[in-house]
A and B are shown apart, each in its own frame.
Chain A
Amino acid sequence: MDLHFTGARATPAERDAVDRVLGSPSSDPLGASARRERRHLLLPVLHAISERAGWISGGALNYACERLSVPPAEAYGVASFYDLFSTTPRPPVVLHVCDDIACRCAGAEDLCAALERVCGAAGSATAGQSATWLRAPCLGLCDRAPAALLATAGDSPAYRRVAPATAESLLSSLGSAPAGNGTAAEPLPYVGGTHVRLLRRVGSVDPESLDAYRDAGGYAALRRALEIGAERVVDEIVASNLLGRGGAAFPTGRKMQAVARAAGRTRYLVCNADESEPGTFKDRVLMEHDPFAVVEAMTIAAIATGCERGFVYVRGEYPQAARRLQAAVDAARRAELLGGNVMQTGLRFDVEIRRGAGAYICGEETALFNSLEGKRGEPRSKPPFPVDAGLFGMPTLINNVETLANLPAIVLEGGARYAKTGTPGSTGTRLFCLSGCVTRSGVYEVEHGVTLGALIAMAGGVRDGATLRTVLLGGAAGSFVGPEALDLRLTFEDARAAGATLGSGVVMLFDDRTAMPDVVRRIARFFRHESCGQCVPCRVGTVRQAEVLERIAGATASPGDVALLDEIGRVMRDASICGLGQTAANAIASARTLGLLEARA
Chain B
Amino acid sequence: MIELTIDGAPVCVAPGATVLDACTAAGVETPTLCFLETLTPVNACRVCVVELEGARVLVPACARKAENGMAIRTDTERVRHSRKMVLEFLASSVDLSTAPDAQRFCERYGAQPSRYGTGETVERPIKIDNALYVRDYSKCIMCYKCVEACGTDAQNTFAIAAAGRGFDAHISTEFDVALPDSACVYCGNCIGVCPTGALMFQSEYALRRQGAWDESRQTETDTICPYCGVGCTLRLHVQENEIVKVTSPLENGVTHGNLCIKGRFGTTYVSNVEPGGERRG
Residues of A within 8 A of B (CB): 1, 3-4, 6, 58, 61, 71-77, 80-83, 87, 359, 376, 381, 528-537, 539-544, 547, 560, 564, 567-568, 570-571, 573-577, 582
Contact = CB atoms under 8 A, between A and B. Distances in A.
Nearest to A72: B174
A582 B183 CA distance: 37
Given A76-B172, A543-B119, A4 B163 contact: no
A567 B86 CA distance: 11
Interface string B157-170: 11111111111110
Contact of A539 (B115, B156, B167, B172): B167
A535 B47 CA distance: 10
Contacts of A536: 44-47, 86, 89-90, 141-142
B46 A542 contact: no
- State the 8 A-B residue pairs at the shortest beta-carbon distance, nearest first: A533-B169, A71-B158, A4-B183, A540-B89, A571-B85, A72-B174, A77-B161, A76-B174
Contacts of B44: 534-536, 577
B60 interface: yes
A539 B161 contact: no
B82 interface: yes
A155 B57 CA distance: 49
Interface string B58-93: 101001100000000000001001100110011011
Contact of A537 (B89, B157, B163): B89
Interface of B: 42-47, 49, 57-58, 60, 63-64, 78, 81-82, 85-86, 89-90, 92-93, 115-116, 119-120, 141-142, 156-169, 172-175, 177, 181-183
A76 B163 contact: yes
A6 B165 contact: no
Contacts of B46: 535-537, 575-577
14 contacts: A1-B156, A74-B161, A83-B165, A528-B167, A531-B167, A534-B44, A534-B142, A537-B82, A540-B92, A541-B85, A547-B119, A571-B81, A575-B82, A577-B43
Given A77-B172, A531-B165, A575-B57, 5 more contacts: A58-B175, A82-B165, A534-B42, A537-B46, A574-B82
Given A534-B44, A536-B141, A537-B82, A544 B165 contact: no
B166 A539 contact: yes
B174 A61 contact: yes
Most chain B CB atoms below 10 A, which of A75, A82, A571 = A571
Contact of B115 (A77, A530, A533, A564): A564
B86 to A, nearest CB: 5
Contacts of B64: 381
Contacts of B47: 536
A528 B156 CA distance: 33
A268 to B, nearest CB: 23
Contacts of B156: 1
A532 B166 contact: yes
Nearest to A558: B117
Nearest to A527: B166
A77 B45 CA distance: 19
Contacts of B172: 73, 76-77, 80
B201 to A, nearest CB: 22
A533 B166 contact: yes
Nearest to B169: A533
Given A539-B142, A573-B57, A574-B58, A568 B164 contact: no
A547 B42 CA distance: 28
Contact of A1 (B45, B158, B169): B158
Contacts of B81: 567, 570-571, 574
A18 to B, nearest CB: 16
A62 to B, nearest CB: 8
Nearest to A358: B165
Contact of B57 (A6, A76, A359, A582): A582
Contacts, number: 161
A109 B82 CA distance: 37
B165 A533 contact: yes
A433 to B, nearest CB: 26
Contacts of B182: 4, 6, 73
Nearest to A564: B115
Most chain B CB atoms below 10 A, which of A72, A536, A574, A577 = A536
B142 A575 contact: no
B78 A6 contact: no
B161 A71 contact: yes
Nearest to A58: B175
A77 B162 contact: yes
Contacts of A81: 163-165
A75 B183 CA distance: 13
Most chain B CB atoms below 10 A, which of A1, A535, A540 = A540
A43 to B, nearest CB: 15
A80 B169 CA distance: 9
Contacts of A529: 166
B169 A532 contact: yes
A574 B46 CA distance: 10
A571 B169 CA distance: 20
A544 B166 CA distance: 13
Contacts of A534: 42, 44, 142, 169
A539 B140 CA distance: 13
B174 A73 contact: yes
Contacts of B166: 528-533, 539, 542
A381 B41 CA distance: 10
Contacts of A576: 46, 57
B74 to A, nearest CB: 14
Contacts of A1: 156-158
A568 B85 contact: yes
A574 B49 contact: yes
Contacts of A3: 158, 183
B163 A6 contact: no
Nearest to B86: A536
Nearest to A538: B166
Nearest to A77: B161
Most chain B CB atoms below 10 A, which of A6, A83, A543, A575 = A575
A80 B174 CA distance: 10
Given A58-B174, A536-B45, A571 B63 contact: no
Nearest to A530: B166
A568 B82 CA distance: 9
Contacts of B165: 80-83, 359, 531-533
A55 to B, nearest CB: 12
Contacts of B175: 6, 58, 61, 76, 87
Contacts of A80: 163-165, 172
A74 B141 contact: no
A560 B280 CA distance: 59
B145 to A, nearest CB: 14
B161 A544 contact: no
A194 B142 CA distance: 53
A534 B63 CA distance: 15
A560 B112 CA distance: 14
A77 B82 contact: no
A542 B169 CA distance: 13
A87 B165 CA distance: 13
A542 B116 CA distance: 13
B57 A540 contact: no
Contact of A73 (B58, B116, B141, B173): B173
Contacts of B90: 536, 540
Nearest to A1: B156
A73 B169 contact: no
A58 B63 CA distance: 36
B147 to A, nearest CB: 9
B158 A540 contact: no
A560 B115 contact: yes
Nearest to B56: A582
A76 B161 CA distance: 8
Contacts of B174: 6, 58, 61, 72-73, 75-76
A192 B119 CA distance: 48
